[in-house]
Amino acid sequence: MKTITLALTGASGMPYGMRLLECLLSSGQRVHLVYSQAAQVVAKQEMNLVLPNRPQDAERALNERLGQCGGELHVFGRDDWYAPMASGSNPGDAMVICPCTMGTLGKIAAGISDDLIARAADVMLKEKRTLILAPREMPFSVIHLENMLKLARAGAVIMPPNPGFYYQPESVQDMVDFVVARILDHLGVANTLLPRWGEA
């Protein structure tokens, strides 16, 4: 069982984050979930999903929504400085921010750790653990690109959620699964969400 921190921020693309959460739990991983206030707005708008303010309410609601998946879900408040991922002594195995706003990406690039999401990402970089950012924006400004380059040089993996079409997706869910599968690959979590290139 791996311990994966999953952060949801206020960029469009909440179906990616929620599908990733579902797949991580289904594969038996321990997920430490944290989300921004803007993510709560986007979840309601894009998925009609209410992400409660209180972590214990969120755990209950998400477990009811996802059912018994086999993994462990722990939800933390964005100002919970006692959360495990806030310290380099207990960082977990990897972290994914999906979707990732440019504001969050910029804070991490500048080393500004003013909430649990940015602090956890900072910990992953300094501890040389896997940090995956899925920035959902277009077009990218020069500032966005420079921040992404800075983070890539620091060891982060920049994975904009760009689905492929070579496998002829038939639904929006197929395109979501393509992106989630690639993230899972980088986390070292086995999955069968999409056919592999070169396989029949």
pLDDT at 42 over 80: yes
Nearest to 128 by CA among 162, 99, 157: 157
What single-letter amino acid sits at 185? D
Asked if residue 70 belongs to a domain, the reply is: yes
Question: For the chain, what percent of residues have pLDDT higher than 90?
Answer: 92
Q: Is residue 194 part of a domain?
A: no
Tokens of 95: 């972290």
- For the chain, first and last CA: distance in Å? 30
pLDDT on residue 167: 87
Single pTM value for the model: 0.96
Average pLDDT on 116-122 reads 98
Query: What pLDDT was estimated at residue 194?
Result: 87
Does residue 11 lie in a domain region? Answer: yes
Average pLDDT, the chain: 95
193 occurs within a structural domain: no
Q: Is residue 106 part of a domain?
A: yes
pLDDT at 155 over 90: yes
Q: What is the pLDDT of residue 124?
A: 98
Does residue 169 form part of some domain? yes
Give a yes or no: residue 196 inside a domain: no
Query: Please, which pLDDT band fits residue 69 given cuts at 50, 70 and 90?
Result: confident
- Number of compact structural domains in the chain: 1
Place 195 in a pLDDT band, splitting at 50, 70 and 90: confident
Instruction: Report pLDDT for 110.
Output: 98
Query: In whole angstroms, how far apart are CA 15 and each of 21, 84, 117, 145, 151?
Result: 10, 26, 19, 24, 24
Residues 136/163, Cβ–Cβ less than 8 Å: no
Question: Using only C-alpha atoms, what is the Rg of the chain?
Answer: 16
Average pLDDT over residues 59-78: 91
191 touches 23 (CB < 8 A): yes
pLDDT over 70, % of the chain: 99
Compute the average pLDDT of residues 41-49: 97
In terms of residue numbers, what domain contains 52?
3-187
- Confidence tier at 199 by pLDDT (50, 70, 90): confident
pLDDT-derived band of residue 200, with 50, 70 and 90 as boundaries?
A: low
125: left (phi over 0), alpha (psi -120 to 50) or beta: alpha
Residue 199 falls inside a structural domain: no
Q: How many CB atoms lie within 10 A of CB 176?
A: 21
Tokens 């400085």: give the residue.
81
* pLDDT bracket for residue 197 (50, 70, 90): confident
Average pLDDT for residues 37-54, to the nearest whole number? 97
**Burial of 100 per CB tally in 10 Å (0-12, 13-18, 19+):** buried
Domain with residue 152: its CATH number is 3.40.50.1950
β-partners of residue 96 are 6, 132
